Amino acid sequence: MIIESVDFFYASMPEVTLEADGSQDALLIRVTSGGLVGWGECEASPLVSIAAFVTPRSHGVCQPVSASVLGEELNGPADIARITALVERNSMDLLQAPHTFSGIEMALWDLLGQRFEEPVWKLLGYSDAYAKTPYASLLFGNTVDETMAQGRSAVAQNFRAVKFGWGPFGTGDPSVDADHLRAAREAIGPDTHLLVDAGQVWGEDVEAATARLDALEEVGAVWLEEPFHASAYAAHAALAARATSVRIAGGEGAHNVHMARNLIDYGGIGFVQIDAGRIGGLGAAKAIADYAASAGVTYVNHTFTSHLALSASLQPFAGLADHRICEYPVQPKQLATDITRTRLLPDANGEIHVPDAPGLGMSVDLEALEPYLHDVSITIDGRELYASPNRIRTAVSS
C-alpha cells in the first residue's frame, strides 16, 4: 500500500480560555491508503502542526513532514519505523515535526490494524491486554471548597484514583497548598489513590518544591508530577533524593525517546508519563514502556483530550500486567467528547479496557464535529500550500 493522503481537521470550542485544559481544541488526522482509513490525534497547537506538514523546505534536514510521509509504502510495522526515521532525519531542524508526526503515526497504526484486522496493541507485540485502573484527572479548585467538591464528585463516579493538578497549586504560600491537599484527601477518603500535578510551576526551583513535600507525604500522595521543566533533569533528581514516600513523575513534555529516557536515567523519576500525541507516536511510546519496565519505573499514559487519544495512549503499555494505573479525561470539553462515537467507560470494577478491535477500535464522528471545525488555507505568493478537506461531503470515517 502507498500512503495516498494525510488530512487535518482543526476543531476548537467557540471560546478558548486560559484554562490549563488541552481539550479546548483538537487536531485530528486522517490517513488513507489502499482504500483504508486510519485516524490519529496530535497533542499540540493545531495550526502550527499543520504548517509543519506543508512548510517549504529550508534545507536538507529542515523539510516538511509531508516529504517523508506522502507516497511512502505502508505494508507493516517495519514501514512505520522506516517512515519515523525519515521524519527524524529529514525534519531534524523542524522543531514541531515530532508533534505533527505523532498524530500521523497513530493513524498509520490504526490503518494497519484495519488491514490486518488486529488491534494495535497486538501489532506492537503484545499477546494479551490487561485492564487498567483509571485515575480521574482534575484541576485543583480556585478554593479549598472547590477542590473538595471535585474530589467527592470523582469518588461518586467510582474512581479509585484521583489526580489534582494545576490551578492555584504551587503559585502561592505552601500552607495554602497544604490546605488543598488535605481537602483532596478528605474528599476522596483514605483508600483512594491521590496523585498531584504541579504543571512545571517551579521551573527548576528545588527549594520551592521541597517546601511542599511534607504536606504531600502527610496526605499519602503517590506522586508529584512535573514539578519542573521537562528537561530539568538535575532538579528532578535533587527533589527525588529528598522525598521519602512520594515519588516524582514526569515525561508528558518529552517529544522524543531520549528526553523520556533521560528523565528515567538522570531525573530519578518513579513514574514516566508519555503522551503518544507528542513523543512521536505509538512506536516511540512503546519503546519507553519497554525501557521503563526494564528500569523498574512505572509507565503511565498521558492524555487529557478525546477517547481516540485515550485509546491510542493505552496501546503502548496494554500488555504490561504490572503497569496498571492510567490517566482518564473525566471532565473534557464537549468538543473532545464529540470526536468519537465510541467511549472507553469504566466497568463495574472501575477499570477500563483497551479495545480488542482492529486498529485503535474507535469510530470518529465528523458530523458531530462540524460545529467545531475551522477552514484553514495556507498560501505563499498566491500559491496554496494547504486547504482544509471538504469535511463531511467527502469524508471517509472509520
pLDDT the model gives residue 19 = 85
How far is the C-alpha of 144 from the C-alpha of 378, rounded, in Å?
46
Run of H or E including 17: none
Tens of pLDDT along 277-319? 999 999 999 999 999 999 999 999 999 899 999 999 999 999 9
Full strand arrangement of the beta sheet holding 25-33: 5-12, 25-33, 36-42
264 close to 290: Cβ distance less than 8 angstroms: no
- The pLDDT score that the predictor gives to residue 331 is 83
CA dist 61 and 11 (Å) reads 30
CB 188 within 8 A of CB 154: yes
Q: What is the pLDDT of residue 85?
A: 98
CA distances from residue 293 to 273, 319, 330 in whole angstroms, order as listed: 13, 11, 27
Residue tagged 505552601 (cell numbers): 174
Ranges for all domains in the chain classified under CATH 3.30.390.10: 5-118+366-393
Residue 17 has a CB neighbour count (10 Å cut-off) of 9
Residues of the chain with CATH 3.20.20.120: 123-338
Q: Write down the H helix ranges in 267-340.
A: 282-295, 307-314, 334-338
Joined grid coordinates for residue 357: 478491535
* Cell triple for 218: 502527610
Are the CB atoms for 23 and 333 separated by under 8 Å? Answer: yes
Beta-ladder partners of 204: none
Look up the CATH number of domain 123-338. Answer: 3.20.20.120
pTM of the model: 0.94
> Residue 364 is placed in which grid cell?
470518529
- pLDDT in 10s for each residue of the chain, 398 residues: 999 999 999 999 999 999 888 889 999 999 999 999 999 999 999 999 999 999 999 999 999 999 999 999 999 999 999 999 999 999 999 999 999 999 999 999 999 999 999 999 999 999 999 999 999 988 899 999 999 999 999 999 989 999 999 999 999 999 999 999 999 999 999 999 999 999 999 999 999 999 999 999 999 999 999 999 999 999 999 999 999 999 999 999 999 999 999 999 999 999 999 999 999 999 999 999 999 999 999 999 999 899 999 999 999 999 999 999 999 988 899 999 999 999 999 998 899 999 999 999 999 999 999 999 999 999 999 999 999 997 543 433 33
φ, ψ of residue 242 to 5 degrees: the values are: -85, -25
Host H or E run for residue 163: strand 161-165
Q: Is 45 helix (H, G, I), strand (E, B) or coil?
A: coil
Specify the pairing of strand 271-274 against strand 247-250.
parallel
Residue 306 CB neighbour total at 10 angstroms: 27
Q: Tell the burial category of 214 from Cβ atoms under 10 Å away from its Cβ (0-12, 13-18, 19+).
A: exposed
Position 395 scores a pLDDT of 39
Bridge-partner residues for 225, per DSSP? 197, 249
- Looking at residue 390, its pLDDT comes to 74
Say if CB 366 and CB 53 are below 8 A apart. no
Cell of 111: 490503518
What superfamily does domain 5-118+366-393 belong to in CATH?
Enolase-like, N-terminal domain (3.30.390.10)
